Amino acid sequence: MGSPRITVLFGFFLSLLTPLSLPHAAEADDAAHPAGRDRVIVTDAAAVTDPVYIGWDRACVVHRYSPAEGKWSSWKGPRAFVPRAAIPVVGPHAAAVLDSAGSYDGWLFDLHAKTWSAIPASPFKRKGGIMDPVTAAFVAGDLVVWGLISGDLQGAVLDTHAMKWRSMAKAPVVPRYRAAAAVAGSKLMVWGGYGPLGPGRIGPLEDGAVYDASTDTWAKMQPPPMPGHRYGCSAMTSKGRFILFGVAKGGGPAAEGMVFDPATGKWDTIAAPPVEVGVQSACAADDERLFVWSGRGAAGGPEASAAGAVYDFRTRKWTRLPEAPIVPRVLASARIHGRAVTVWGGWEEGPTVFLMDGATYDLGAGAWTEIAPPPGDVPPEMHPGW
């Protein structure tokens, strides 16, 4: 189970807000393209389902794993941009890194053409302090940034073809940071997080809303079947539905999941898994199933759970996973691609260790395979529960 890893001080999870020092990435590509091209992102190509993440090496670096080739490839961005406080964003056709300590300018990387384009300054007006770690996601090809608490503008949309920003409609819920969020088609779904509770008060929120980028409209979600505020949720989509799993409720972890269908406006529950998984687990979903591995066990405790399971949305039943070839952890990334799911990165605690290994689980064969380590550090995720 040995793997490359870097020991860090407790609390280093905040390092997402600072650049990471990485070794030179393989296949570096410093080519940058100016803003204003007629076609910045190739959105008519097939969506990228391979694992993708963003790191730093005196510039932002995009790393992509090819399951077919069993290797990572990397593309380095312009050295002129090293964010002091960054928000990385990965979509089906592009990746971006935004300077959240400035005005959300940055760089965009086309995953198909493998080219970089400058992102202009957004219309957000900063009112003291650093910018909030808000929701940022690619929605229907454009880049949406929402949830800014300070200032008069809650959110804005970057047209990634014209590379121009436009304001977005006001939401029926208060702006917030560290919300659970996921995208399905033209819809961005957000839930929970932290935001204004009253004059001079900020705390955990218990509501959510759906933004339709095609019409610039919002719809507030109905209350969920399991009331109470939540943090530490993993968020994803399946057949257009919003999936939340691994919540912390009442001061402790709970292996609970919920499904919201924006077409009907109704919630459903996910049966409790037969193993100890909970908040900050590696989670991924496709149209048929939900994959959950490790994270903090529902029983609590200082050590991460070594267990995992796959939930079948059709039968509403769980199947236990065999033991993984990598150590248990929290905040690992996961991505389903075809009949397999890849897990990488994350944290091992006691003392805190930043992990740089990964493995692929074959959903058909029911077997794990360890993969090559990423070529650079995996940025610690700013999880909604932190």
DSSP, residue by residue, 141-195: TEEEEE---SSS--EEEEETTTTEEEE-PPPSS---BS-EEEEETTEEEEE--EE
Q: pLDDT digit string (tens) for 74-93?
A: 999 887 666 667 889 999 99
Q: Which of 16-30, 97-111, 126-140, 263-277 has the lowest mean pLDDT?
A: 16-30
Q: Which of 72-81, 127-136, 229-238, 330-339 has the lowest mean pLDDT?
A: 127-136
Q: pLDDT digit string (tens) for 286-326?
A: 999 999 999 886 555 668 889 999 999 999 999 999 999 99
Among 83-87, 157-161, 295-299, 350-354, name the most confident range: 157-161
What is the model's pLDDT at position 172? 97
Cα–Cα distance between 243 and 270 in angstroms, integer? 9
pLDDT band with cut points at 50, 70 and 90 for residue 13: very low
If residue 248 lies in a helix (H) or strand (E), which one and from where to where?
strand 241-249
Q: pLDDT digit string (tens) for 90-147?
A: 999 999 999 887 788 999 999 999 999 999 999 987 665 555 678 999 999 999 999 9
Q: Which two tokens stand for residue 179?
A: 């919300």
What is the model's pLDDT at position 250? 54
| Burial class for 135, CB neighbours closer than 10 Å (0-12, 13-18, 19+) | buried
pLDDT at 381 exceeding the cut of 50: yes
What is the model's pLDDT at position 297? 66
Q: Which two tokens stand for residue 316?
A: 């509403």
For residues 154 and 146, the answer to whether their CB atoms sit within 8 Å is: yes
pTM for the full model?
A: 0.87
What is the model's pLDDT at position 84? 67
What is the model's pLDDT at position 320? 96
What is the model's pLDDT at position 34? 44
Q: Which of 1-5, 47-51, 360-364 has the lowest mean pLDDT?
A: 1-5
What is the model's pLDDT at position 231? 66
Please name which of 118, 111, 109 lies closest in space to residue 81, comparing C-alpha atoms.
118
pLDDT at 209 exceeding the cut of 60: yes
Q: Which two tokens stand for residue 343?
A: 């897990």
DSSP string, 14-53: GGGGS----PPPTT----EE-TT-S-SS-TTSPPP-S-EE
Map out the domains of the chain with their CATH numbers: 5-129+231-257+269-370 (2.120.10)
Cα–Cα distance between 274 and 70 in angstroms, integer? 32
Other C-beta atoms lying within 10 Å of the C-beta of residue 126: 14
What is the model's pLDDT at position 29? 41
